C-alpha cells in the first residue's frame, strides 16, 4: 500500500513540475482517488517540504519552482551547487543551507542542532526527496565534486540498477552518516609515512 501512495506522490510532483499549481479537484480527476486521499497525500508531501498547500489546491514548494539549487555555493566546501546533486537543509529559524552533494550535506546535517528538515536531489531525475528516505550509493565509480562520492536515490530499485553499472555500496541515511563520520575520524595510532 505504501508503494501505491509513493507512486501517487511521484505523479503529483510530476504534474506540479509541469503546471506549477493544481486544484484539488484536478488531482482527484487525474489520479482517480477520493478528495480525502488527495488531502492525505498533500499533507505528507507538505510535511516533507516538497509542496505548499494553498486554498483549494497545491503548488511546488517555492525553492523547487526552478531547476537550480537555492544557493550557488556549498555551505561546507564552497563548490557550486548543481541541481542534480544538491542537498538543502532547513533549520529552525535561519536561511536554508545548500550543499553541493550528499557528501557535504550529510556532514552539515551531523553538525546541526535542533530539528531540521533536509531534502536531496535524486541523482537520476533531480526530484527532491527527504534525506531520511533516500538510498545512498557510496564510492561508486562516478566522480562527483567531493570524495568519497555519495549519490542519492529516491527509490532503492534505481540505486540498485545504478550500483550494478557503477559499483559502490548502498546505504540508508543512518549508515551513510556513520560511514562519513568514521571516514572523517583520523586514526592517531596509525604510523605516519616518513618522507
Report how far residue 60's alpha carbon sits from residue 54's, in angstroms, rounded to the nearest whole number. Answer: 10
- Cα 130 to Cα 16, 48, 145, 155: the distances in Å are 18, 6, 21, 11
| Angle subtended at Cα 115 by Cα 3 and Cα 138, rounded to the nearest 5 degrees | 55
User: In DSSP terms, which residues pair with 182 in a beta bridge?
Assistant: none
- To which residue does cell 557550486 refer? 80
Q: Would you kindly state where each structural domain of the chain is located, as residue ranges?
A: 2-64, 87-184
Quick one: pLDDT at residue 115? Answer: 66
pLDDT in tens, the chain (195 residues): 457 887 888 888 888 878 888 899 999 999 999 999 999 988 887 776 677 888 888 887 655 554 444 457 888 888 888 888 999 988 766 678 889 999 999 998 988 877 678 999 999 988 889 999 999 999 999 888 888 899 999 999 999 999 999 999 999 999 999 999 888 765 444 555 544
Quick one: pLDDT at residue 62? Answer: 57
Taking the model in full, what pTM does it have?
0.61
DSSP three-state, residue 181: helix
DSSP collapsed to 3 states, the chain = CHHHHHHHHHHHHHHHHHHCEEEHHHHHHHHCCCHHHHHHHHHHHHHCCCEEEECCEEEECHHHCCCCCCCCECCCCCCECCCCCCEEEECCCCCCEEECCHHHHHHHHHCCCCCCEEEEECCCCCCEEECCCCEEEECCCCCCCCCCCEEEECCHHHHHHHHHHHCCEEECHHHHHHHHHHHHCCCCCCCCCCC
Quick one: pLDDT at residue 63? Answer: 53
The topology (CATH level 3) of 2-64 is Arc Repressor Mutant, subunit A (1.10.10)
Report how far residue 81's alpha carbon sits from residue 105's, in angstroms, rounded to the nearest whole number. Answer: 11
Amino acid at each position: 500500500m505504501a508503494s501505491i501512495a509513493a507512486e501517487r506522490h511521484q505523479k503529483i510532483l510530476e504534474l506540479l513540475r509541469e503546471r506549477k499549481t493544481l486544484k484539488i479537484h484536478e488531482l482527484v480527476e487525474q489520479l482517480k482517488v477520493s478528495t480525502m486521499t488527495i488531502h492525505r497525500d498533500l499533507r505528507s508531501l507538505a510535511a516533507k517540504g516538497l509542496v505548499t498547500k494553498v486554498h483549494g489546491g497545491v503548488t511546488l514548494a517555492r525553492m523547487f519552482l526552478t531547476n537550480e539549487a537555492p544557493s550557488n555555493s556549498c555551505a561546507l566546501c564552497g563548490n557550486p551547487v548543481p541541481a542534480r546533486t544538491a542537498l538543502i537543509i532547513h533549520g529552525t529559524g535561519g536561511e536554508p543551507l545548500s550543499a553541493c552533494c550528499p557528501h557535504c550535506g550529510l556532514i552539515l546535517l551531523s553538525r546541526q542542532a535542533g530539528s531540521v528538515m533536509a531534502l536531496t536531489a535524486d541523482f537520476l531525475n533531480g526530484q527532491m526527496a527527504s534525506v531520511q528516505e533516500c538510498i545512498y550509493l557510496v564510492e561508486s565509480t562516478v566522480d562527483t565534486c567531493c570524495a568519497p562520492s555519495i549519490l542519492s536515490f529516491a527509490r532503492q530499485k534505481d540505486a540498485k540498477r545504478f550500483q550494478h553499472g557503477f559499483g559502490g555500496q548502498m546505504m540508508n541515511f543512518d549508515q551513510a552518516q556513520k560511514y562519513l563520520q568514521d571516514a572523517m575520524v583520523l586514526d592517531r595510532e596509525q604510523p605516519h609515512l616518513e618522507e
